[in-house]
Amino acid sequence: MASSATLNPDSLPNSSAPPLEMGVRIRLSIMMFLQFAVWGSYFTVWNIYLGAPTASGGLGFTGTQIGNLYGTMALGAIISMMIAGQLADRVLSSEYLMAIFHLVGAVLLYAMAKIHDYHTLWLVSLAFALTYNPTLAISNSLAFTNIKDATRDFPTLRVLGTIGWICAGLSVGYLLPTGSNTTNRPLLLAAGCSIALGLFSFALPHTPPTGKKGDAIPFLKAFKLLAIPSFGIFFAISFVITIALAFYYTFASPFLADMHIHPAPEVVMTFGQWSEIFFMLMLPFALKRFGMKGVLTVGMAAWAARYGAFATEIPVLIIIGVALHGVCFDFFLAAGFIYTDNEAPKDIRASAQALFSFLTYGVGMWIGNLASGAVVDAFTVNGVKNWPKIWLIPSIGAAVCLVLFLLLWRDDSRKTKDEAIADAGMSAAV
């Protein structure tokens, strides 16, 4: 996910900053590549391994259990919002934190590959989520600290993360033995990538703690923004629609496997990342052309359309639905971070971003993981899933959110931030 500060469509002038030193660029690019290769190695196919019958090498877990296991990543995100920034700001240099978290994470991934008991696996998965999620924030912070111009340099670094995710998915699909998606091999590949990044982190640019003073839980400071109608409605709808979004991340791969979509599910899933690269580069221009409300509308509509395409069970439409990921992610979640960054008062901008992440990637995704597992179990009879009915649930949910957004939300960006706060009866200091 690209940082919203780097994609502001109103701040794309030619930079006067000196070029980023090539040695620094290479090291930060490798960091981004491996950061998302760890996640991409197993996350999109883990559900197949978890749900496949034990006779074929899987664990035979129920949909509810799979949803709960995927929910550990969201729980890790919720908790990491409280600790990641504080650790990097006050405790230890960012590169050492990256090394510690990824080396410990490698051990936990290896343990996840060997554990067959559901309850034990849930606890270890949560432990891994608590070590991996902070590195998402720390890697971004480390990059921003060491680049000359965020608007110019960061997108060209962050795109390596998407490429790392794609390469990991292709490795699972093509380099590992046939049927590897129903074994623990993707987890072992993730552990290997985590070891590589943990060791490589010692070669990253030295980034000591800044020593900044702040709130112990900084995102709590931004809750007063919810009193501003445009913020309150936007955050509420974003939270609800993220519950529907979780269905894709949790059950798209087993759906593709059941539909016998070719090539392999882990390869088809990378189509979404390829489109993400394209639409991320197009996002600033779309914002200038259609405005924030137009872009967010397209993003929400794409989620409803994607699930509707899945419900048809028509192979061509299913693949198109996967390829819509670039629109779904970039024109909703990435655009949402941009909106938050552009409209929040400067002194609480980071807190506002943390709140948006907390509501979407954290609480919303966690509830969505649990809900998706319950829905899948409700529409499963004798081990056979009724996928059309399953996908209609999030499709209708996303469509309802879109209608509410069109009716209730208006872009107050023409107001100054101070005016918006004054209208809401808030102090500019918040």
Q: What percent of the chain has pLDDT over 70?
A: 82
Query: For the segment 27-50, what is each residue's pLDDT rounded down to a tens digit?
Result: 999 999 999 999 989 988 898 889
Distances (CA, A) of 391 to 62, 210, 320: 18, 46, 15
For residue 168, which of 190, 143, 183, 149 has the smallest C-alpha distance?
190
- State the pLDDT at residue 420: 40
- The CATH classification number of 22-213 equals 1.20.1250.20
**Contact yes or no for 221/37 (Cβ under 8 A):** no
Q: What is the longest distance spanned by two Cα atoms in the chain?
A: 64
Q: For domain 215-430, which CATH number applies: 3.50.80.10, 1.20.1250.20, 3.30.420.40, 3.40.50.1100?
A: 1.20.1250.20
Q: What is the pLDDT of residue 54?
A: 82
pLDDT in tens, 140-183: 778 877 877 765 677 778 778 889 988 988 888 776 665 556 68
Q: How confident is the model at residue 214 (pLDDT cuts 50, 70, 90)?
A: low
Task: Transcribe 234-289 into DSSP letters.
Answer: HHHHHHHHHHHHHHHHHHHHHHHHHTT-SS-HHHHTHHHHHHHHHHHHHHHHHHHH
The span from the CA of 415 to the CA of 47, in Å, is: 46
Please determine whether the domains at 22-213 and 215-430 fall in the same fold group of CATH.
Answer: yes
Q: Map out the domains of the chain as residue ranges.
A: 22-213, 215-430
Question: What 3-state class would DSSP assign to 69?
Answer: helix
Q: State the pLDDT confidence band at 427, using cuts at 50, 70 and 90.
A: very low
Task: Please list the residues that pair with 380 across neighbouring strands.
Answer: 385
3 state SS of 385: strand
Residue 48: what pLDDT? 84
DSSP label at residue 381: E
